[in-house]
Structure 1
Amino acid sequence: MNSKINISIDGHAGCGKGTLAKHLAKSLNYSYFDTGAIYRALALLMMNNKLGFTENFNYLNKIKIEFKYNETNDFFELYINDELAEYLIKTDAVSKKASEISKTNEVNNFVTNLLQKIASEKGNVVFGRDTGTKVLPNAELKIYMITNPEVRAKRVFEELKNKNINISYDEVLRNIKENDIWDLTNAVSPIVKADDSIILDNTNMTKEEQGKLALTWAKGVISAL
């Protein structure tokens, strides 16, 4: 299996895109890219420099962003210029800044161009917003994940409870439904299913089942090259 492909994974928040991307990247020995984490990395850099995107453009254009697999915690961690930054991008301030800049066309275009340059060499799994339509429109395998909102809310609620975050299931569900509406209707970057993507409805599937199915799809595409 010497041939490699690019894989894009789209879908609403809480569908398990990151879990599936990790499984495929590990199974195929592919590079892993989380677009949301990249936006947070840019937000962190802009906050540290205390400059706007335009003033930071030349600096950001030289930044090396990559994800390295950590076997100890079974997670792909973000590095900026070979320095671990995974835990620096998870503060509320960085998340707020990332949400702000992700609504601008210039930052969206920057991230798209960055990932397209990386993906010019095959062997990547990219998940997040617009991956199958704008970021990797020529990806050989495009997966669009859907999950019942109530199921997503239950998953997120359990994760937050395990982290001792005090929030009710009803509040989580309300937030998910509100985010879904914004994702579909916002003017800058609404979620759109690529016409040639495969729908993966994992509402009634385990992580293992969805991983096995998606890996079968990937191997089928690769073997047909």
Structure 2
Amino acid sequence: MPNFTLPRPARLTRTHKVSAAVVATASCAAALAFTAAPSEAETTAAHAPAAVKPVSANGLPLTAKDRADDGKEARAVASSVAAGLKVTAVEKQNHAAEQTASRSIERKAIVAPKAAPKAPKATPKRYANNLDGWIRESLDIMKAKGIPGSYEGLHRNIMRESSGNPNAVNDWDINAINGVPSKGLLQVIQPTFDAYHVAGTPHKLTDPIANITAAANYAAHRYGSIDNVDSAY
């Protein structure tokens, strides 16, 4: 048997032990990191989606025409979305306008309407206090009451009967003899005046307007109009 001399075991100092521990720990950490972290290539390959070829509805590969149609459809969808956004904005504006109008209507409903301005009172027509004014005022009353007669017919008979004097009195004819003398512009006796007096005028025989309208009313009933009288009536 050969004679082998065993080498003397080396003596490890504390420093050697610490160094060996550090090296061992670093080696283990590197091994774990290498094992736990996959390579960039492996990660990319693991997460990359499988390539899928586009197909049509019947399962066949898309043709060039199908791709063009899909492009048109996508653009149409995009246009619709854009149009939808615009419509939404317009609707918002319309809604805001409706709310504003509604508030305006509510405010108007709350405010009490202004009273309509009163119509100005009609200024009463003025007539001269003379023969011309008396005839004109009498004609307006006659027109309102439907009594016929003209300015010429009234003026002509007045001048013949009293010469335009409203206080003229006949004290010599048959009426005067009977105690009922004719008086006024158109020489009317009291019974005739009472029977044909026109409402709205003074109930006084010698009042110019009352005398003219009562005589014209009497003449209208007996002769058709004062215009038809040319002599004593």
TM bucket (normalised to shorter chain) is under 0.3
Structure number with the bigger relative contact order (C-alpha 8 A, sep ≥ 6) is 1
TM-score normalised according to structure 1 size: 0.21
Structure number, greater radius of gyration: 2
Specify which structure has the higher proportion of helix.
2
Specify which structure has the higher proportion of strand.
1
TM-score normalised according to structure 2 size: 0.20
